[in-house]
Amino acid sequence: MPENAPSSPPPRPILSIVAPVYNEEAILHELYRRVSQVMDAQFGEPWELVLVNDGSWDRSYEIMLELHEQDPRVHIVNFSRNFGHQIAITAGMDYAQGQAVVIIDADLQDPPEVILDLAAKWREGYEVVYAIRRERKGETWFKLWTAKMFYRIINKITGVNIPLDTGDFRLLDRKAVDALRQIREHHRFMRGLSVWIGFRQTGVTYVREERFAGETKYPLRKMLKFAMDGITSFSYLPLQLATYMGFTIAGLSILGIILTIILRLSGSKAFYGQATTLVMVLFLGGIQLISLGIIGEYLGRIYDEVKNRPLYIVDEAVGFEKRETGPTYR
């Protein structure tokens, strides 16, 4: 890494643009080009691009280093391995130095031009400005439908009202960023947390583009985990379901007992035999296992919190050396 001239520290950025990157070698040059074009030509104040390399195993990191050489406003946080999208965003916010931070996907589905709209609302005095997808191009119907259902369900069962059709693309004022940085929970659901912190919040609409290149890094498995993190971190409803089901089944069985007594007294031979018993035992066994599983989901998450490991391990942070305030590592 060449040393920068110590005499002229770079101006402190007004806006930090944070992009999590996982195997996006095909996109990074274009991301830098689009972001720098918009920011230089239209934003007109100091900015930085914080690329968080979330354990990519393609050429992403090399390209990031090239971009940093070319433009020292590109800063890099290189993770020691893949820690996941939400953690990468968190690290970006820990390192970002701007007066406001914009979280953006690296794949250019969130057009960098929208940053200007977000910043305009910020200038009006809002601390959290989220970008609402008016339209989503190039997504499968399955993803659109599951996302739609998920946000409607989570808003019903949790106390936080996550604005519908928003992702992680949003602007956060320094106050909001500092509030979020205090939250160090491991199974982070940033969309919920950024509502939870409060402050003045508003949204602007935009059209979500197709991925510029490459494939989605969110296979079904990761999407399910993400959904579970969202629900468990904001709701106890799954735990309470066991209670509700317990009461319902107990109530039904009391009715069943009364019915059986009446049938027996009247000499009926109905409901004799093993099949009934077997079906009921299996049914109850199933419900008990599901309930245990739900408890397990919460228990595992509690265990992760109790262990209190750092959220991420940084291999190298490039471009942040000259800053006054150090980053938080956990």
DSSP 8-state assignment for residue 266? T
Name the nearest CA neighbour of 17 among 82, 91, 100, 85.
100
Query: Binding of Mg ion at residue 109 (CB under 5 A)?
Result: yes
Query: Binding of ligand UDP at residue 85 (CB under 6 A)?
Result: yes
User: Scanning residues 26 to 55, which ones bind ligand UDP (CB under 6 A)?
Assistant: 54
Name the nearest CA neighbour of 32 among 11, 1, 63, 77.
63
User: Scanning residues 4 to 23, which ones bind ligand UDP (CB under 6 A)?
Assistant: 20-22
Query: Binding of Mg ion at residue 23 (CB under 5 A)?
Result: no
Nearer to Mg ion, 32 or 122 (CB): 32
Query: Binding of Mg ion at residue 24 (CB under 5 A)?
Result: no
Nearer to ligand UDP, 82 or 260 (CB): 82
Q: How many Å apart are CA 45 and CA 71, to the nearest integer?
A: 15
Name the nearest CA neighbour of 103 among 92, 95, 87.
92
Site mask, ligand UDP, residues 253-292, x = CB under 6 A? ----------------------------------------
State in Å, rounded, how far the first CA of the chain is from the last one.
25
232's CB contacts (< 8 A; 6+ apart) are: 187, 238, 297, 298, 301
Whole-number minimum distance, CB 203 to Mg ion, in Å? 19
Nearer to ligand UDP, 109 or 194 (CB): 109
Query: Binding of ligand UDP at residue 105 (CB under 6 A)?
Result: yes
Whole-number minimum distance, CB 264 to ligand UDP, in Å? 59
Name the nearest CA neighbour of 314 among 63, 31, 90.
90
Query: Binding of ligand UDP at residue 84 (CB under 6 A)?
Result: yes
Which tokens in the block code for residue 177? 């960023």
Which tokens in the block code for residue 212? 């510029």
Bridge partners, 170 (sequence order): 103, 130
Taking CB under 5 A as the binding criterion, the range among 5-13, 104-112, 219-227, 257-265 that sits at the site for Mg ion is: 104-112
Query: Binding of ligand UDP at residue 216 (CB under 6 A)?
Result: yes
Task: State whether the Cα torsion 163-169-171-174 is positive or negative.
Answer: positive
146 touches, from Mg ion, ligand UDP, none (C-beta below 5 to 8 Å by class)? none
Whole-number minimum distance, CB 301 to ligand UDP, in Å? 18
Query: Binding of ligand UDP at residue 243 (CB under 6 A)?
Result: no
Task: State whether the Cα torsion 64-67-72-74 is positive or negative.
Answer: negative
Whole-number minimum distance, CB 208 to ligand UDP, in Å? 9
Helix 237-265 vs helix 274-307: crossing angle, to nearest 10 = 160
Q: How many Å apart are CA 15 and CA 121, to the nearest integer?
A: 14
Whole-number minimum distance, CB 223 to Mg ion, in Å? 12
Q: How many Å apart are CA 330 and CA 327, to the nearest integer?
A: 9
Q: How many amino acids of this chain bind Mg ion (CB under 5 A)?
A: 3
Nearer to Mg ion, 138 or 251 (CB): 138
Instruction: Among 14, 66, 72, 82, indicate the residue that binds ligand UDP (CB under 6 A).
Output: 82
Which tokens in the block code for residue 276? 């009934």
Task: State whether the Cα torsion 12-18-24-30 is positive or negative.
Answer: negative
Whole-number minimum distance, CB 188 to ligand UDP, in Å? 13
Whole-number minimum distance, CB 1 to ligand UDP, in Å? 23
Contacts with ligand UDP by CB under 6 A lie at 20-22, 24, 54, 82, 84-85, 88, 105-107, 109, 216-218
Contacts with Mg ion by CB under 5 A lie at 105, 107, 109
